[in-house]
Homo-oligomer: A and B are copies of this chain.
Amino acid sequence: MGKSRLEAFSDGVIAILITIMVLEMHVPHGADLAALQPLWPVFLSYVLSFVHVGIYWNNHHHLLHACHRVTGGMLWANLHLLFWLSLMPLTTGWMGENHFAPLPVALYGAVLLMSALAYYALQQIIIQAQGAASLLRRAVGRDWKGKASPLLYLLAIGFALVRPAVSMALYTTVALMWLLPDRRIERVLGSGSSHGEGG
């Protein structure tokens, strides 16, 4: 079973997610600056979520690039990841509308946490299917980003109930940390295809 349809379906879902989040920013009534005022927190939440979903798309792209055979387990691990990502418009809208109140900020983090764990699970399933010589295993290496992200999300969820501003700073930190493209996979795959000059 090829992977092109899995990629196309995931691209479709992520493209829709990233786009319909904007539908949660309801057009304000009134045509003056006062009407735009309440939109600021919603807008900032939207930017943060757009970047997060963009990161997932980007990394997903690399992940499947390193994978050549698709199993039933991968299909479902992928759907599991898409499920948690699909909740982002909801938590993004709720957080923005309530001006970064404790519970919405915590729930926003919970969905990010579950997405991160689902991504990690998908990665592990692909690595296991590739066996001992897995190119992807070498590519992700110690995977400190993949391991640090859930911990930072957990920390942020804890802070949300007392200091939501710290949680927002942590979510932003994780986003910036990943914005650096995942050169590890690119490098190892590049060396793997061009007769493995070390890595």
Contacts and interface: CB of A to CB of B under 8 A. Distances in A.
Interface in A45-80: 47, 50, 54, 57-58, 61, 65, 72-73, 75-76, 79
Chain A interface secondary structure, helix, strand, loop or mixed?
helix
Given A16-B12, A89-B22, A31 B101 contact: yes
Interface residues of A, number: 57
A17 B23 CA distance: 10
A23 B22 CA distance: 11
14 contacts: A1-B61, A9-B15, A17-B19, A19-B20, A22-B86, A27-B94, A31-B94, A31-B103, A47-B83, A50-B83, A58-B72, A58-B75, A72-B183, A76-B181
